[in-house]
Amino acid sequence: MGDGSFGQDVLSPQALPGDVATAHGGDGFACAVTFGAGLMCWGDNSQGQCGVGDLSQPMLTSPTALPGVADASTMSAGGKHACYLSVSGAASCWGDNQYGQLGDGSNDGSPAPAPVSSSEKFRLVSAGQTHTCAVAAAGDLLFCWGDNSHYQLGAGDQ
């Protein structure tokens, strides 16, 4: 839950410290955007999905700030990856990348935010289990990348 406890179910809401604007839950991990435009994540970090740049800690028991992120406007947590948009609309993703869900043109995972390979600026991002979609800041175009095994990218057989 991000409070240092491990393996104990929490059956009612518990407050965590922090200057939290929004919170997002992934598969075994969670992240929050702070009012100061920072990001913090906690929980399962086995694939780098907490974005702290370090795989030596497979479990983060409390909210941990993502180093160097001070311009987050929104974010989304997916299966074992997450993405955020900067205030300028640039997208960055981190974590598992088996299906290209980080959008960096590779299948290599990243334990820290890596820029999405697009010059497009976005206003919304949504990380799915193994894919990601984002809405362009201008023109309301939808961009999706990653796993397309169930046609979840909306691009047919491409």
pLDDT at 2 over 90: no
Tell whether 44 is covered by a domain: yes
Tell whether 4 is covered by a domain: no
Q: Which residues lie closer than 8 Å to 110 by C-beta, 6 or more apart?
A: 48, 93, 94, 95, 97, 102, 104
- pLDDT for the residue numbered 16: 82
Reading the block at residue 91, the tokens are: 């997208």
Domain extent, residue 94, equals 20-146
pLDDT at 157 over 60: yes
DSSP string, 74-121: EEEE-SSEEEEEETT--EEEEE--TTSTT-SSSS--EEEEEE-S----
- pLDDT for the residue numbered 15: 87
Tell whether 45 is covered by a domain: yes
pLDDT at 74 over 90: yes
Residue 91 · residue 134 · CB < 8 Å: yes
pLDDT at 101 over 60: yes
Tell whether 138 is covered by a domain: yes
Tell whether 30 is covered by a domain: yes
- pLDDT for the residue numbered 10: 85
- Give the count of domains, the chain: 1
pLDDT band at 32 (very low <50, low <70, confident <90, very high): very high
Cα angle 106, 95, 24 (rounded to 5 degrees) comes to 130
Mean of per-residue pLDDT scores for the chain: 94
How would you label 23-58 residue by residue, b for 16+ Cβ within 10 Å and e otherwise?
Answer: bbebbebbbbbbeeebbbbbbbbbbbbbbbeeeeee
Tell whether 52 is covered by a domain: yes
19 SS3 class: coil
Tell whether 87 is covered by a domain: yes
Q: Which residues lie closer than 8 Å to 7 by C-beta, 6 or more apart?
A: none
pLDDT band at 87 (very low <50, low <70, confident <90, very high): very high
Domain harbouring 90, CATH code:
2.130.10.30
Which residue reads 């691009």 in tokens?
155
Tell whether 42 is covered by a domain: yes
Cα angle 92, 127, 149 (rounded to 5 degrees) comes to 115
